Amino acid sequence: MAAIEPIEKNAAGRRGYSVKNPATLEPIGEFQVTNAEEVREAVKRARVAQAKWARVPVKERVTYVQRALDLLIEREEQIIDVICADTGRGRMETRLMEIIPSADTMAWFAKRAESMLADRKVGLQTLLKMKRMVVTHRPLGVIGVIAPWNGPFVLSVNPTIPALLAGNAVIIKPSEITPFSGGLIEELFRDAGLPEGLVQVVLGDGETGAALVEAGIDKLSFTGSTATGRKVAESAGRNLVQVSLELGGKDAAIVCGDANIERAARGVLYGAMFNTGQFCCGTERVYVVREIADEFIAKVVEYAKELRQGSDGTQDVSAMTWPKQMETLERQVEDALAKGARVLVGGKRNASIEGAAFEPTVLVDVNHSMLVMTEEAFGPLLPIMVVEDENEALALANDSPFGLSGTVWTRDNARGMRIAKEFETGSICVNESSLTYGAHRAPFGGVKQSGMGYVHGEGAILHFTRQVPVIFDRLGMKTEQNWYPLTEEKNDGMGKLLKFFYGSRIWRKMA
Ligand code: NAD
């Protein structure tokens, strides 16, 4: 049973969806799909609001974000109710995954927005020492945010906050699978007193998302699957819209012979089962060296058996947010078993839950001929492959079309760093379970088919600005050597200048 069902025509004669809690299958509401015309209207409203917002001092913009953060803290339980109903997830996991990181993003950017957006004096190279340069930051205009269903609140909040503080308007298109969580953000900012039109939510499916890319926005922040990312990038290319793409992954964990076995087993299991495996940086495959493999696998199995799966809000592992994902999980497990894999824990549907739930599953005797080791699972599957040494582990970890994140488990940080430098992926954690997305200063972005562009990092807010350099003359001379007339004498002078500055090693050092 799907958690969303299409409505061909609602009372107003419009297309829409009815939505159920995917864990309990209780109906939670209906919504109408925003059509292309309405999306264009939203962009027009956003542009009007943005023109005024761009003139609001950054300090004042910060006060709106602070107020929204106050409301987030005040309304936390109600917000968790809505997100849990949308996703079927447990309450603590929702607090950990959605609320705390959103609050942290708001507080972090609010504190730094003024300094990050301040005009910057930048010194120029030798030939231009007589000039002065200031780099200014201007908003891009209207930012589109297209979000997936696996982190429906936080993955909309994360790009919205820096975009807004940088002086842009934002239009969010939440996933049709978790529509009401995205709607919370519009409400939060409206109640925080933000001018109308500055943060808008357009509900709908892929058609609405596609319309948003075509509607005249200035930048798109897209988070979702690689397949949709390609379509979005094509359309953004046609429309010359800037785009950042945060896409799928198949993150590997490398467990070295000197690992703290208990920490590695607990960390890898958490990485695989967090958000019921529906986590872009979730651990999707493990390579453990033979010398500790038996002990490591025994611990993973022990801890996996302790996981509580349910739908009452107190569970560790939940039902799938998007029931269709069950087909992928069943196909991958079936394929692995047919090719010689063994299931040590789970391996099938959990029929005790009303919604579509797959048991937390540990597989061994796996290899790269199996889909479970090569295709994104996005569910609670943990396949473990035994390898001879770290070099083999690294080669297998890199044998993937994806490169989002990854983990290394070793007691030796120098070894961890050596492996990290060879790991073909966007970010790496050593003895940590995928923390990089939550670290604001960490430039986060996928390589290969996992994405394009960065979010976060030192200049995170600047991703939503145009950097505009302004150069001033300092000396006020009547003319310059390179201005007209271009004479033989000046030409000779230029030749000498070239030799003087670039012909000498000393001057090159001062370039
Ligand atoms: P999806 O690609 O199916 O949908 C993502 C969003 O795109 C939804 O809002 C959807 O309605 C919209 N969309 C669909 N077709 C569109 C089109 N043609 N034009 C514009 N928008 C369109 O992804 P999903 O199933 O919602 O999310 C799961 C995927 O997201 C996984 O692959 C996961 O790895 C990835 N993800 C990546 C990150 C990251 O940071 N790299 C974070 C979370 C999720």
Q: Looking at ligand 1, which residue's alpha carbon is closest to its atom 19? A: 210
Together in a domain, 195 and 319: no
221 with 167, same domain: the answer is yes
Torsion (CA) 65, 184, 190, 215 in degrees, nearest 10? 100
Could you say which DSSP state residue 160 is in? H
Lowest mean pLDDT among 341-345, 363-367, 421-425, 455-459: 455-459
Average pLDDT, rounded, for the chain? 96
Which CATH number is 381's domain given? 3.40.309.10
Residue nearest to atom 37 of ligand 1 (CA): 247
Helix (H, G, I), strand (E, B) or coil at 144: strand
Residues 408 and 295 in one domain: yes
Tell me how far the alpha carbon of residue 223 lies from the centroid of ligand 1, in angstroms.
Answer: 5
Tell me: pLDDT of 395 over 60.
Answer: yes
Higher pLDDT, 38 or 126: 38
User: Would 442 be classed as within a structural domain?
Assistant: no
pLDDT of residue 460: 86
Regarding whether 403 and 291 lie in a shared domain, the answer is yes
Task: Reply yes or no on whether the pLDDT at 294 is more than 60.
Answer: yes
Residues lining ligand 1, Cβ inside 6 A: 146-151, 155, 173, 175-176, 205-206, 209-210, 213, 223-225, 228, 231-232, 246-249, 280, 376, 378, 404, 446, 451
pLDDT 10s digits, 244-279: 999 999 999 999 999 999 999 999 999 999 999 999
Model confidence at 68, in pLDDT bands (50, 70, 90)?
Answer: very high
Same domain, 44 and 155: yes
Rounded average pLDDT over 407-423: 98
Residue in 4, 33, 225, 400 to alter for ligand 1 test, most ligand atoms within 8 A of Cβ: 225
CB atoms within 10 A of CB 445: 21
> Is 292 found in the same domain as 407?
yes
Examine residue 109 and state whether it is found in any structural domain, yes or no: yes
The DSSP string of 229-255 is HHHHHHHHHHTT-EEEEE----EEEEE
Q: Residue 368: give the domain boundaries.
A: 251-435
Q: What is the pLDDT of residue 380?
A: 98
- Residue at 471 is within a domain: no
172 sits in which H/E element: strand 169-173
Using CA atoms, how far apart are residues 160 and 469, in angstroms rounded to an integer? 25
Q: Which atom in ligand 1 lies closest to the alpha carbon of residue 249? A: 34
Same domain, 208 and 324: no
Mutating to test ligand 1, I would choose from 34, 146, 447, 455 the residue with most ligand atoms within 8 A of its C-beta, which is 146
**Interval between CA 25 and ligand 1 midpoint (Å):** 23
Q: How far is the CA of 221 from the centre of ligand 1 (A)?
A: 11
**Whether residue 375 is found in the same domain as residue 239:** no
Q: What's the pLDDT band for 149 if we cut at 50, 70, 90?
A: very high
What single string gives the DSSP state of each residue in 389-436?
Answer: SHHHHHHHHHSSSEESEEEEE-S-HHHHHHHHHH--SSEEEESSSS-G
Whole-angstrom CA distances from 175 to 155, 182, 419, 420, 446 are 11, 8, 36, 33, 21
Q: Any idea what the CATH number is for the domain that residue 56 is in?
A: 3.40.605.10
Pocket probe for ligand 1: among 98, 205, 228, 247, the residue whose CB has the most ligand atoms within 8 Å is 228
Q: How far is CA 407 from the centre of its chain?
A: 17
Residue 1 has pLDDT above 70, yes or no: no
Q: Mean pLDDT over residues 76-97, rounded?
A: 97
Q: Tell whether 103 and 195 lie within a shared domain.
A: yes
Cα(86) to centroid of ligand 1, in Å? Answer: 16
Is residue 136 located within the same domain as residue 45? yes
- Structural domain includes residue 46: yes
Q: Would you say residue 1 lies in a domain?
A: no
Would residue 20 count as lying in a domain? no
Residue with tokens 């596609």: 210
**How many whole angstroms from 229 Cα to the centroid of ligand 1?**
7
Nearest alpha carbon, ligand 1 atom 9: 175
Residues 321 and 232 in one domain: no
Residue type, 45: R
Total structural domains within the chain: 3
pTM value is 0.96
**Same domain? 128 vs 230:** yes
Report helix, strand and coil shares of the chain as percent, to nearest 5.
45, 20, 35
Active site residues: 246, 280
Q: Residue 18: beta bridge partners?
A: 5, 30
Distance (Å) of CA 209 to CA 46, 140, 146, 508: 16, 20, 7, 51
Task: Give the C-alpha separation, 456 to 21, whole Å.
Answer: 32
Residue 281 CA, ligand 1 centroid: distance in Å: 14
Span 385-389, mean pLDDT? 98
Residue 443 is assigned to a structural domain of this protein: no
Phi, psi dihedrals of residue 393, rounded to the nearest 5°: -60, -45
Evaluate whether residue 261 is within a structural domain: yes
How many other C-beta atoms lie within 10 A of the C-beta of residue 105?
23
- Tell me which residue has its CA closest to atom 8 in ligand 1: 175
- The protein residue with its alpha carbon nearest to ligand 1, atom 13, reads 206
Asked if residue 150 lies in contact with residue 378, where contact means CB atoms within 8 angstroms, the answer is yes
